[in-house]
Chains A and B, each alone.
Chain A
Amino acid sequence: MSALAPTAVLAASSAVPFAVLPALVLVPAVGALLVACLPRRRPELLKLAAVTTSVVVGGMAVWLLSGFDVDHGADLQFVSSATWMADLGISWTLGVDGISLFLVVLTGVLFPIALLAVDPGHDDRAYYAWLLLLEAGVMGVFLALDLMVFFLCFEVVLVPMYFLIGRWGHGNRAYAATKFFLYTMAGSALMLVGILALAFLHADAVGGPVTFDLVAIAEAQAVDATAARWIFAAFALAFAVKVPIFPLHTWLPDAHTEAPTAGSVILAGVLLKLGTYGFLRFGLYLFPEASHFFAPVFLTLGVVGIVYGAVVATMQRDLKRLVAYSSVAHLGFIVLGTFALNTEGIEGGLLQMVNHGVSTGALFLLVGMVYERRHTRQIDELGGLQKSAPVLAGVFTVVMLSSIGLPGLNGFVGEFLVLVGAFNAHRWFAVVAAGGVILAALYLLWAYQRVFHGPAEGDNATMPDLRLREGLVLAPLLALIVFMGVYPKPVIERMEPAVDALVAHVEHHVDGFTEPTSQFGSEVEPGHGDDDGHGESDDHGDDH
């Protein structure tokens, strides 16, 4: 059935010149240690070390892209496995497939940009060390194929982010950092329980030793359906906080707004994807039946997030907060696509993860640049900036249009695929979500008008334009925005086999569910959109 069988996994790991995946995790971790050992009073040296490390990691990530075997996109590639705690069944297994590939690359690309773009201003050593440790954690999450390793990395990510917000953030940073930490901690605590329960129940069911091997557990599907639903709920809560899904989103605007620019870029660009990626790899793949069972809940929340995020964004007076709320709307799209449970939807969602990382990352950089010049993010206090900073305004326009989902730029393809997927599965969700497209134009263009159009007065009239260094930092992001909008094929063809395999996996493990081929050919699809019996332990006697 699926190409993800354990044997195939190991077969695909041949012909790797060096253990690239462990290197992706370890190099930034070692870099963090190195930075921590450097003299405190040499900020340029610290920055050099940090940037070099992240560029090396980025280089390896891009190399991964070229080394990735397109013909076996569904297989886990570059797999590296080492026993870690053999008694507990925990092993250090890393691998990459079409689902995680571009998230790894995105991480590799965004970190050097974030490091280059902004200087911390104080406590440089700790700042760079935390950022590199953060990168190690994120890479670990995207690459881990062992539940415990995944959990470990998922938790490791929290600490650097907490300190980044708390020490280098703006005004209300302590509150924001604590809120961020607690929210995500709450979720991951439940996930730990879920992981333990899953591993033990799996071991019971198959009668072997305890293992945390993701592929083994997912392929066996040995856990009883009711238990699987409960465990899925525990996982889902952790991911839902991380995404964040309405109504668990309120940590996000605070964290984004108070975080330093680099923190916001990484937070929006990469960290939010830990949740959406988690849904794919540890939600749909581990719990196909439960994912299908809970899909209506997440579809609803996704659509609510799209509309709600957009409406609240319209209202914001703080430019950075506005961008933060736009993330809530965008991630609603990703959730919608993921739980459409068909190839287009998931693929579109996956594409949107990368797109959102690029576009929103760039938006936060731009807002940071405006803030650095004007020392305010209040939309009311800005105006007419297009006069004094035409290049900045031009770049902002392109990034904004990409965020709105203009065809020809990256946002469109993903959004459209999500809508097609959602339409195919649940027509009305897609129609409401399409309304979110209008709202996105409303809040972003309205903000653009107020910030960049109109007469420029006072400091706004003399604001310096983009500097060369800033332009160079933004250039790769702009290139990605245009490239992925005009020619998404190389990205999609690498994602697709893995997504197909995942959809096939879900279909195989859900009774009576196949991807509906068309709305108008057959009269209706099987009524899997109707029940929203959230949390009910009704009698499902299915034995998988």
Chain B
Amino acid sequence: MSALLTLAASASTAAHGAGDLALGITEGGNWFLRNVWLIPLLPALSFVAILFFGKRMPRGGSEIGIAAVGIAFVLALLTGAAWIDHRDNFHGEEVHAAVVVDEAHGAHGDDHGDDHGEGHGHASLAVHQTVTWFQTNGVEFTVGTLVDGPAVMMLLVVTLVSLLVHVYSTDYVAGDRRYTHFFAFLSLFSASMLLLVVSENTLQLLCAWELVGVCSFALIGHWWEEKPNSDAALKAFLTNRVGDMGLLVGVTILFFAAGAALPGTFGSFSIAETNALANSGALSHTALLVASCCLMAAVMSKSGQFFLHTWLPDAMAGPTPVSALIHAATMVVAGVFMIARMYGVFFEGFQIGGSSINLMAFIGGLTTIVGACLAFVQRDIKKVLAYSTISQLGYMVMALGVGAWTAAMFHLFTHAFFKACLFLGSGSVSHAVHSFDMKSDMGGLRKDMPHTYRTFMIGTIALAGLPPLAGFWSKDEILVGTGGWGLMGGTDANGAYTLMLGMGMLTAALTAAYMTRCVYLTFFGEFRGHGHPHESGPRITVPLWILAFLAVFAGFLNMPKGFQLAPKGLQERFGHFVEPVAGYFPAIHHARPSWSLAIVSTIVVLCGVGAAAWYYFVKVEAASKAAGTSLTELPNGPTTRWPLARMGHTLLANRYYLDHLYNGVVADGTKGPVARLANRINQDVIDRTVDLTGETAVKAGTIVYEKIDQLVVDGAVNASGRGSSGAGEELRKINSGKVQSYAAILFAAATVLAGVLIVIV
């Protein structure tokens, strides 16, 4: 059976010093929780089916994909329902891991769970299932599922968004030259992502992680006839490969670190075991720190964190549904999810909860500002959203970095809906105007595209974080979770990260401002494109409305505790069901909600909206009217007035010159000078040596042949018996072969070595 059971069994016979480590997982539970592997399997089968039979189907294979993802969504719903029941009512047998824990360290795990309060107090056992993949040297490499709050939440999000995107795509990519191929890869992507979220061990996580990367490559490069698309796909894959290396090394470090603490094995990939060991203090801090840094590299590439984020805006070269599904709602949050999954490791490795600024919180905070600034200077509506995604992912990573785990997961949840809504909305707009350029081809679309306009506005307000839409609740929870506020609530967090609070506040204002700009350029003013845009069909607008609905209401799932306007049953429901209460999850603190912070952050957002609205809706609008053109940038705008602002704009317009660094210096350097140098060394030094040796050997052979063989030996032979001249002739023929003369010399060299051997021995 499972490795864990074996370990548990061996615990009883292990030498003294070995204790049991409560993992908080069980093998039992509802059928849906034990058979969750069906959910990734369905789209995987659909991929194969579409690939082989899709072209022959009446709707080009899209029906197979929709059916598979639809069933997967239903299964995910049932799994969710089963989990809600399981979370509070299951009292099955717990699985333990045998572990050697020092007395000094052992205490750490004991106080676990104190902070969870009444809502989180009871044990919720994650449902764990494994089968052996292969086995070597006593270590089982397993595949399996670990179903708990975050996994169930992700299953729901991924299947729902994927389903909506499938439906949307039937209209959006209708008539595409590779329609079937497109749906096949949507299916494969869904399967990989679902496999990732239910992963039981880090190796499986790594496999799924790389698979989503490949699907991303295929889908970004969907229209590979154009070089920029193909380049973007390549860039995405290679950047992610850099992160994959970090993941690979990090996973290996954790494997051996866990093995050192578990008796009777020399490594473990199990997520539950690794985290539980990290929580209990049984793993060395150095190992955890190094592993965390390596894993962080993977997060930076996959989740578009500064400074490995540059592939994400380029990835917008893919079809818009792909951008919505992969580069906004699901794949890019894989990094965030991985941090959440390995939180025990990160919590100890980065010492989250110590108030001192750690790498994760810093990178997240920096990314959130960097991304938001870049969103200001884009003309392409999808690029605005792409940088916005980077910024929001930074928010989540920052939240995890300050210990606000639930807030990060909640933001991931709400962001998936409103960002998918915005992306699909931008797709609907571009479907109508055949362009993504806001400045030259859009404007005034609110009249022509009422559904798209309304849903886009809802998404915008949710993203900006104005109450009572979804984004407000999750953003507010993150700001509270930084613990930097401390005025009438906002205390009791894992530390007091004032800097992160400031970064979050700044981003809130920036987000509101760039989205106001985006909305103005797209939907207000005069239409600047060609032809007459029309509203998209129901297969596009219905998914938009569903997502808009969720963008409004998803936030109510986790209203803060003590929020008097909400019914008691809605307070912190999300946190209650999603946050694991288990040995593999660290004992985190939960900040107390703060009215004052909510009000201040709302004012900050309104300031952002106001400033941008004043600039665009008032000044630019007036200037445009006065000039009689559809869009006039202000002649005395900030970039023309202040040199510093102009420099900032140039810096932003060039994306901080990071692409120049990566493409111009690193990639071209590797492909160009470095590779050329290596090639030269190869050809001119190493290979030349070989050729020279050969040539010398030939010369030497010629000399030997002509001077010694022919004159001396052959002469002797000839002299000794002319009767055998025929044989001599033959001999000479053979001898003159190049190969033979080489071989002769080499054998001579070998003889010398033999002599050396004999002398030494």
**Chain A residues in contact with chain B, CB under 8 A?**
178-179, 181-183, 185-186, 189-190, 192-193, 196-197, 201, 224, 226-227, 230-231, 234, 247, 250-251, 308, 311-312, 314-315, 342-344, 347, 384, 386-387, 401, 406-408, 412-413, 416-417, 419-420, 423-424, 430-431, 434-435, 437-439, 441-442, 445-446, 449, 452-455, 487-489, 492-493, 496, 500, 517-521, 537
* B694→A437 contact, CB < 8 A: no
Cross-chain pairs A/B with CB under 8 angstroms, 7 sampled: A312-B675, A343-B136, A408-B211, A420-B252, A437-B241, A454-B224, A493-B134
Contacts of A407 in B (CB 8 A): 206-208, 210-211
> In the bound complex, what is the Cα–Cα distance between A407 and B143 (angstroms)?
13
Interface pick from B254-262, B334-342, B365-373: B254-262
> In the bound complex, what is the Cα–Cα distance between A423 and B294 (angstroms)?
14
* A193-B757, A227-B760, A492-B134 as given contacts; A449 in contact with B230, CB under 8 Å: yes
Instruction: Return the chain B residue nearest A435 by Cβ.
Output: B245
> In the bound complex, what is the Cα–Cα distance between A441 and B244 (angstroms)?
11
Q: Is B3 part of the contact surface with A, judged by Cβ < 8 Å?
A: no
> In the bound complex, what is the Cα–Cα distance between A437 and B284 (angstroms)?
28
Q: Is B78 part of the contact surface with A, judged by Cβ < 8 Å?
A: no
Contacts of A519 in B (CB 8 A): 253, 256-257, 260, 287
Given contacts A197-B761, A518-B259, 16 further A-B pairs with CB under 8 A are A178-B694, A189-B750, A190-B753, A193-B751, A308-B678, A342-B137, A387-B225, A408-B207, A408-B211, A420-B255, A420-B267, A438-B245, A449-B231, A488-B133, A489-B133, A500-B137
Q: Is B611 part of the contact surface with A, judged by Cβ < 8 Å?
A: no
* A518→B134 contact, CB < 8 A: no
Our pick among A227, A413, A438 for the contact of B241 (Cβ within 8 Å) is: A438
* B252→A347 contact, CB < 8 A: no
Interface pick from B313-321, B553-561, B738-746: B738-746
* B757→A230 contact, CB < 8 A: yes
> In the bound complex, what is the Cα–Cα distance between A192 and B746 (angstroms)?
12
Contacts of A417 in B (CB 8 A): 136
Contacts of A454 in B (CB 8 A): 224-225, 227, 230
Q: Is B599 part of the contact surface with A, judged by Cβ < 8 Å?
A: no
Our pick among A230, A441, A517 for the contact of B238 (Cβ within 8 Å) is: A441
Contacts of A386 in B (CB 8 A): 224
Contacts of A226 in B (CB 8 A): 760-761
* A314→B670 contact, CB < 8 A: yes
* A197→B248 contact, CB < 8 A: no
* B259→A419 contact, CB < 8 A: no
> In the bound complex, what is the Cα–Cα distance between A493 and B249 (angstroms)?
25
Q: Is B700 part of the contact surface with A, judged by Cβ < 8 Å?
A: no
Contacts of A441 in B (CB 8 A): 237-238, 241
> In the bound complex, what is the Cα–Cα distance between A416 and B690 (angstroms)?
34
Contacts of A185 in B (CB 8 A): 742-743, 746
> In the bound complex, what is the Cα–Cα distance between A88 and B259 (angstroms)?
51
In the complex, what's the smallest C-beta–C-beta distance from B576 to chain A, in angstroms? 35
Our pick among B225, B284, B750, B758 for the contact of A190 (Cβ within 8 Å) is: B750
* A408-B211, A446-B671, A520-B283 as given contacts; A438 in contact with B132, CB under 8 Å: no
Instruction: Return the chain B residue nearest A189 by Cβ.
Output: B750
> In the bound complex, what is the Cα–Cα distance between A419 and B686 (angstroms)?
28
Q: Is B692 part of the contact surface with A, judged by Cβ < 8 Å?
A: no
Contacts of A224 in B (CB 8 A): 761
Q: Is B676 part of the contact surface with A, judged by Cβ < 8 Å?
A: yes
Q: Which 10 A-B pairs have the closest CB atoms?
A: A407-B207, A521-B260, A315-B675, A453-B230, A489-B134, A453-B224, A518-B260, A343-B137, A189-B750, A250-B687
* A347→B754 contact, CB < 8 A: no
In the complex, what's the smallest C-beta–C-beta distance from B621 to chain A, in angstroms? 43
User: Per-residue 0/1 for B642-680: is the Cβ within 8 Å of any A Cβ (1 yes, 0 no)?
Assistant: 000000000000000000000000000011001110110
- Main SS of chain A's interface residues? helix
> In the bound complex, what is the Cα–Cα distance between A519 and B290 (angstroms)?
13
Contacts of A314 in B (CB 8 A): 670-671, 675
> In the bound complex, what is the Cα–Cα distance between A408 and B751 (angstroms)?
50
**Which residues B384-434 have CB closer than 8 A to chain A?**
none
User: Per-residue 0/1 for B278-289: is the Cβ within 8 Å of any A Cβ (1 yes, 0 no)?
Assistant: 000001100100
User: Per-residue 0/1 for B110-147: is the Cβ within 8 Å of any A Cβ (1 yes, 0 no)?
Assistant: 00000000000000000000001111110000000000
- Main SS of chain B's interface residues? helix
Our pick among A384, A413, A424, A492 for the contact of B256 (Cβ within 8 Å) is: A424
Instruction: Return the chain A residue nearest B691 by Cβ.
Output: A179
Contacts of A343 in B (CB 8 A): 136-137
In the complex, what's the smallest C-beta–C-beta distance from A451 to chain B, in angstroms? 11
Contacts of B256 in A (CB 8 A): 423-424, 518-520
Contacts of A308 in B (CB 8 A): 678
* A419→B252 contact, CB < 8 A: yes
* B678→A311 contact, CB < 8 A: yes
Contacts of B211 in A (CB 8 A): 406-408
Contacts of B237 in A (CB 8 A): 441, 445
* A442→B238 contact, CB < 8 A: yes
* A315→B679 contact, CB < 8 A: yes
Contacts of B233 in A (CB 8 A): 449
Contacts of A250 in B (CB 8 A): 682, 686-687, 690
Q: Is B747 part of the contact surface with A, judged by Cβ < 8 Å?
A: yes
In the complex, what's the smallest C-beta–C-beta distance from A457 to chain B, in angstroms? 11
Q: Is B617 part of the contact surface with A, judged by Cβ < 8 Å?
A: no
In the complex, what's the smallest C-beta–C-beta distance from B229 to chain A, in angstroms? 8
> In the bound complex, what is the Cα–Cα distance between A446 and B231 (angstroms)?
9
> In the bound complex, what is the Cα–Cα distance between A384 and B225 (angstroms)?
7
> In the bound complex, what is the Cα–Cα distance between A182 and B284 (angstroms)?
53
Q: Is B234 part of the contact surface with A, judged by Cβ < 8 Å?
A: yes
Q: Is B361 part of the contact surface with A, judged by Cβ < 8 Å?
A: no
Contacts of A192 in B (CB 8 A): 750
* A182-B746, A230-B757, A453-B225 as given contacts; A446 in contact with B134, CB under 8 Å: no
Contacts of B675 in A (CB 8 A): 311-312, 314-315
* B749→A189 contact, CB < 8 A: yes
In the complex, what's the smallest C-beta–C-beta distance from A262 to chain B, in angstroms? 23
* B690→A197 contact, CB < 8 A: no
> In the bound complex, what is the Cα–Cα distance between A204 and B149 (angstroms)?
71
> In the bound complex, what is the Cα–Cα distance between A140 and B399 (angstroms)?
63
In the complex, what's the smallest C-beta–C-beta distance from B236 to chain A, in angstroms? 11
Instruction: Return the chain A residue nearest B137 by Cβ.
Output: A343
Q: Is B214 part of the contact surface with A, judged by Cβ < 8 Å?
A: yes
Specify which of A412, A434, A455 lies most central, judged by the most chain B CB atoms within 10 Å of its CB: A434
User: Per-residue 0/1 for B205-230: is the Cβ within 8 Å of any A Cβ (1 yes, 0 no)?
Assistant: 01110110010010001001101001
Contacts of A438 in B (CB 8 A): 238, 241-242, 244-245
Q: Is B266 part of the contact surface with A, judged by Cβ < 8 Å?
A: yes
* A489→B135 contact, CB < 8 A: yes
Instruction: Return the chain B residue nearest A328 by Cβ.
Output: B682
Specify which of B221, B224, B756 lies most central, judged by the most chain A CB atoms within 10 Å of its CB: B224
Instruction: Return the chain A residue nearest B181 by Cβ.
Output: A390
User: Per-residue 0/1 for B706-743: is the Cβ within 8 Å of any A Cβ (1 yes, 0 no)?
Assistant: 00000000000000000000000000000000110011
> In the bound complex, what is the Cα–Cα distance between A517 and B256 (angstroms)?
8
Contacts of B671 in A (CB 8 A): 314-315, 442, 446
Contacts of B207 in A (CB 8 A): 407-408, 412
* A492→B225 contact, CB < 8 A: no
Instruction: Return the chain A residue nearest B739 by Cβ.
Output: A181
* A230-B757, A314-B670, A518-B256 as given contacts; A178 in contact with B739, CB under 8 Å: yes
> In the bound complex, what is the Cα–Cα distance between A234 and B746 (angstroms)?
13
* A347→B230 contact, CB < 8 A: no
* B259→A517 contact, CB < 8 A: yes
> In the bound complex, what is the Cα–Cα distance between A434 and B206 (angstroms)?
14
* B134→A186 contact, CB < 8 A: no
Contacts of B214 in A (CB 8 A): 401, 406
> In the bound complex, what is the Cα–Cα distance between A438 and B243 (angstroms)?
9
Specify which of A224, A437, A520 lies most central, judged by the most chain B CB atoms within 10 Å of its CB: A520
> In the bound complex, what is the Cα–Cα distance between A320 and B234 (angstroms)?
21
> In the bound complex, what is the Cα–Cα distance between A500 and B287 (angstroms)?
28
Instruction: Return the chain B residue nearest A183 by Cβ.
Output: B690
In the complex, what's the smallest C-beta–C-beta distance from A306 to chain B, in angstroms? 13
> In the bound complex, what is the Cα–Cα distance between A182 and B749 (angstroms)?
13
